[in-house]
Structure 1
Amino acid sequence: MHYKLQKSLFILVGLFLTAIGIKLLNIHTLTFGGTAGIATLVSFMTNWTWGILFLIVNLPFFILSIKKLGWNFSLLTFLCIILISAISDLMDYLTLPIISPIAAAIIAGSLIGIGVSFVLNSGASLGGIHILALYLEQKSNINRGISLFVTDFMIVSSAIVMFGFKNALISIISITVASFLTGRLKSTVKPTEVVYQTSEFEISSK
C-alpha cells in the first residue's frame, strides 16, 4: 500500500513538472519533440487546446501499447495522458514570467526531463515516443534517452517552418536537456520488474 501511494505521488509530481515545462515552452513560442511537439504545432494552427490535441495524437500509440506492452501498463499510461492533458489545460489560467528564450528552454527541459523520469520510473509513460523508447530499451538495450533525442530532434526540425530557425534551434536545447536527464535518471529497479511484469508477452532482460 505504501509503495502504491509513493508511486502515485511520484507520477502526479512528474505530470505537474512536465505540464509546467510544456507551458513554459508554449508562452515563449518554443516547442518540444514527440507527440507533445505535434500537439504544440497543431495548437498554434488551430483553436484547439494543447491538452485535447495531446490526447488525440496519443490514441494510436495507446492502441499499440495495448498490443505490445499489455493492459495494465497501457491503462496506467492512458490515465497519465488524460491527467497531463487536463493539468496542461488548467495551466492556461497560470501566468508564468517571460524570460530569455534560452533560459526558458533550459528550465523547461529540466522540468520535463525530471517529470518524465518520475513517470517512467513509476511504471507508466506519457504515451507516444516514450512507449517506443521503453520498448527499444528493453528489446535492444538502446538507452531511452538516445531514442527520445533522435526522434524528438527529427520532429522539432519541422518546426523551423512555423517558428523560424532560431526558435527551432532553441527548442532543441530543451530536448537535449530533457533527453539527457531522462537517460541519466533511470530507476535502479529493472524495467522488467516495474513495467514489463504485467505485459502480455515476456521480453527477456539482458
Structure 2
Amino acid sequence: MAANAFTGLLNSSADRHSLFDDAQGIVAGSMLAVLGVSLLSGAGLLAGGTAGLAFLAHYATGFSFGLCFFAVNLPFYYLAFRRMGPAFTIKTFAAIALTSILSEFVPGFIGIGHVNPIAGALFGGLVIGAGMLALFRHRASLGGIGILALYIQDRLGWRAGLVQLGFDCLILALSFLVASPSIIACSVLGAVVFNLTLAINHRKDRYIAV
C-alpha cells in the first residue's frame, strides 16, 4: 500500500504533473529566480511587479530583499485564492517563501560582486524569466500584481495588461527616488528581456500539463 502511494507521487502523464513534478518545478523555478535577482542586485538594478516593490523597499530601508519580497506579497494571497483557487495559492506561497529564504542565504554561498548594469539586465532578466517559466508550467507564480490585475479586470472590466503596465510605470516612477536614470534605463532593459522570455516561450496551446 505504502509503495503504491509513493509510486503515485512520482507518476505523471503527458497532461498532468505528479506531486514530485510540481515540487521540483517550484524548487528549480525559485532557485533560478534567486540567481537572477542576485545578478540584478549586484548591478544595483530594479524590477517590475512585486519584485520591484521589494527592491524599492530593500534599497530604501536596508532590509534584506528576501524579507521585503515576502512581506509585499502577503496582501495578494487572498486575491490568489479567490481568482486562481487553493492549489495555485499554496504552490505560489511555497515558491515565494522558498525564494525569500534562498535570497537570505544564497549570497553567502555565491558571491556576486560588481556586475555591469547592461550585463546584469540581460542575464538577470533572462534567468528570472526562465525561473518564472518553470513556475508557470507548474501552476505557480512569484508575482502578486499580476493577480491583482486579473482581479481588477474581473471586477471593473479594465484590461489586465494595461493595469499591469500602469503598476509597473508607477514602480518605475518611484524608482527615481532611489536610483539614477542610467540604472533605471538598464532596469527597463532587464524587464524587456524578462517579458520577452515569457511571451515567446509560454503559450498554453503548446504546454497543456496541469
- The TM-score bracket by the shorter chain reads 0.7 to 0.9
Gaps of at least 5 residues in structure 1 are 195-206
User: TM-score, normalising length from structure 1?
Assistant: 0.80
Mean Cα displacement is larger for which, 6-15 or 182-191? 182-191
Q: Which of 14, 21, 24 is the matching residue for 1:6?
A: 21
- 2:121 is aligned with what amino acid? A
The equivalent residue for 2:200 is 184
How far apart, CA to CA, are the structure 2 residues paired with 1:178 and 1:117? 10
Q: Is the 8 A contact 2:42 2:115 kept in 1?
A: no
The equivalent residue for 1:45 is 60
- The one-character-per-residue Cα deviations of 1:85-135 (angstroms, maximum 9, x if unpaired) are 001111221202423210111000000111111101111111312434677
Give the superposition deviation at 1:39: 0.8
- 1:114 is aligned with what amino acid? A
How far apart, CA to CA, are the structure 1 residues paired with 2:117 and 2:89? 35
Mean Cα displacement is larger for which, 114-123 or 125-134? 125-134
How far apart, CA to CA, are the structure 2 residues paired with 1:138 and 1:185? 26
Figure out how many residues of one structure are paired with residues of the other and give that number: 192
Gaps of at least 5 residues in structure 2 are 1-9, 12-16
How far apart, CA to CA, are the structure 1 residues paired with 2:190 and 2:166? 13
Q: Percent same amino acid at aligned positions?
A: 29
- SS of 1:161's equivalent in the other structure is coil
The equivalent residue for 2:44 is 29
Distance 1:184 1:114, change over 3 A: same
User: TM-score, normalising length from structure 2?
Assistant: 0.79
Distance 1:174 1:38, change over 3 A: same
Alignment root-mean-square deviation, CA? 2.9
The equivalent residue for 2:82 is 67
Q: Is the 8 A contact 1:157 1:168 kept in 2?
A: no
Larger Rg: 1 or 2?
A: 2
Distance 1:10 1:187, change over 3 A: farther
